[in-house]
């Protein structure tokens, strides 16, 4: 088991939640900026290629940089790594806001800002996840994971309509300025709150590439951990494209319009909030992998249901989207809590960033697969395939050696993996 946080009982809350609150505000500000920039691209260019290019620019750093960023998160001071990442995000957004204010902002300026923001996020995410483990006692990690998932759900539900409202009363550079303010609010607690550092394990005597190779060897040698990462990547390969195809599912299969799409997205977001809150209060099963398996199975059932529904059963699709929304944060929250609880502190930046990089890389590959399948057999078929894959992956946990008992691995087994 991981060592306990070396603070007096209850002290972790007074240190962790100021940091978490600042990061929560920063996330909401970032989501507002994301909505504003996508809307500006859509209104100004009217080009699907421009929107696809923006998506690619925002995705590539997450794939390419994340493994190196995670390695640096295990070498550097994670607190100051987050400060620099938030500062880079704020400066990129401020520069873009000034360009909009002066009327000279163009498409390539937006792309550069998206690239810088995505790269900063690639550094920030593993540092924050690994720092959480150093601040939060093991028994509360799942509940904190539930709070994180609740926050993502709130952002999904609140930020699009709020962003649309703000764009009606403010110029776009005014909306961008909000993100600069929230980034400053995220930096402030980090300056004053100390975050414990993991053991260094002679990082100063090795190169970044050597540390990255060490992280890869750790994952490959610890077979249950490797299996979990591969399962997560496989699920993203099929699930993420299904989400991207939802507008076409509404128009082509259910014969609906914008209000129907908005209904599905709203119910999904509300489900995320409910699922995250439930996990935050409940804390999941004692064995976290059981929480992951149960929620993943429910997600698979939801996807299969959507794929098998007739065109006249839109109400049932709404219910299935709600179930999918509720199960998703429970699965993700429990999964990250399990990894934070079992992976040694000094390896978490690398391991978690490898998981993120694999999940992000699966998205474009999955879209390349889903397009032809959906065009040939219909979009519901892809939903059914994605759901079946999820159910199979949940069953694999009981078959693959050691995965079900991943959390029970003694410290010696984890040391052997290194």
The angle subtended at Cα 285 by Cα 73 and Cα 138, nearest 5°, is: 35
pLDDT score of 410 more than 60:
no
Question: 97 with 179: CB under 8 angstroms?
Answer: no
Q: Which two tokens stand for residue 362?
A: 């699966």
Rounded to an integer, what distance in angstroms lies between the CA atom of residue 123 and that of residue 100?
Answer: 27
Integer CA distances (angstroms), 244 to 55, 94, 113, 219, 271, in order: 12, 30, 23, 30, 18
Output the pLDDT for position 183. Answer: 93
CATH of domain 204-418: 1.20.1250.20
- Global pTM reads 0.82
Please, where in the chain does CATH 1.20.1250.20 lie?
A: 8-137+155-197, 204-418
> How does pLDDT run across 321-349, given as a tens digit for each residue?
999 999 999 999 999 999 988 898 889 99
* Residue 172: other Cβ atoms inside 10 A: 20
Query: What average pLDDT does the chain have?
Result: 86
| pLDDT at residue 360, rounded to an integer | 84
CA distance 227 to 222: 9
Q: Is the pLDDT of residue 143 over 70?
A: yes
Query: Strand, helix or coil at 405?
Result: coil
What is the DSSP code string of 153-216?
HHHHHHHHHHHHHHHHHS-HHHHHHHHHHHHHHHHHHHHHS--PPPP-TTGGGS-HHHHHHHHH
CATH placement of domain 8-137+155-197: 1.20.1250.20
User: Measured between alpha carbons, how far is 374 from 357 in angstroms, rounded to an integer?
Assistant: 26
Kindly tell me if the per-residue pLDDT of 196 is higher than 90. Answer: no
pLDDT at 283 over 80: yes
Lowest mean pLDDT segment, chosen from 101-115, 201-215, 365-379, 393-407: 201-215
Which of the 8 DSSP states describes residue 251? Answer: I
| pLDDT tens digits, one per residue of 99-116 | 999 989 888 899 999 999
């Amino acid at each position: 088991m991981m060592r306990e946080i070396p603070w007096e009982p209850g002290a972790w809350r007074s240190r962790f939640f100021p940091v978490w609150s600042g990061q929560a505000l920063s996330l909401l500000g970032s989501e507002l900026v994301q909505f504003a920039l996508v809307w500006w691209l859509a209104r100004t260019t009217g080009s699907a290629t421009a929107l696809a290019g923006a998506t690619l620019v925002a995705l590539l750093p997450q794939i390419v940089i994340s493994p190196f960023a995670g390695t640096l998160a295990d070498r550097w001071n994670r607190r100051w790594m987050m400060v620099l990442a938030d500062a880079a995000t704020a400066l990129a957004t401020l520069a873009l806001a000034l360009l909009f204010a002066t009327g000279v902002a163009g498409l390539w300026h937006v792309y550069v800002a998206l690239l810088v923001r995505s790269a900063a996020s690639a550094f920030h995410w593993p540092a924050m996840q690994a720092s959480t483990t150093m601040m939060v006692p093991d028994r509360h990690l799942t509940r904190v994971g539930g709070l994180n998932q609740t926050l993502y759900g709130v952002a999904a539900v609140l930020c699009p309509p709020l962003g649309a409202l703000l764009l009606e009363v403010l110029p776009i550079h005014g909306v961008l300025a909000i993100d600069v303010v929230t980034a400053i609010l995220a930096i402030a607690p980090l300056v004053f709150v100390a975050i414990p550092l993991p053991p260094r394990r002679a990082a100063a005597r090795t190169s970044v590439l050597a540390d990255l190779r060490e992280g890869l060897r750790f994952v490959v040698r610890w077979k249950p951990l490797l299996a979990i990462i591969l399962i997560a990547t496989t699920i993203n390969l099929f699930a993420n494209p299904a989400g991207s195809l939802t507008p076409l599912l509404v128009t082509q299969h259910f014969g609906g319009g914008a209000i129907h799409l908005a209904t599905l997205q709203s119910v999904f977001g509300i489900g995320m909030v409910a699922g995250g809150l439930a996990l935050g209060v409940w804390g999941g099963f004692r064995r976290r992998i059981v929480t992951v398996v149960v929620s993943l199975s429910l997600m698979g059932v939801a996807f299969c249901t959507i794929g098998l529904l007739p065109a006249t059963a839109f109400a049932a699709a709404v219910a299935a989207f709600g179930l999918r929304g509720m199960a998703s944060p429970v699965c993700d929250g429990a999964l990250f809590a399990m990894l934070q609880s079992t992976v040694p502190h000094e390896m978490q930046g690398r391991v978690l960033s490898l998981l993120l990089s694999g999940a992000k890389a699966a998205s474009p590959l999955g879209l390349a697969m889903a397009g032809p399948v959906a065009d040939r057999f219909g979009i519901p078929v892809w939903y059914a395939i994605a759901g079946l894959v999820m159910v199979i992956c949940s069953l694999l946990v009981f078959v693959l050696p050691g995965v079900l008992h991943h959390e029970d691995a003694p410290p010696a087994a984890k040391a052997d993996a290194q």
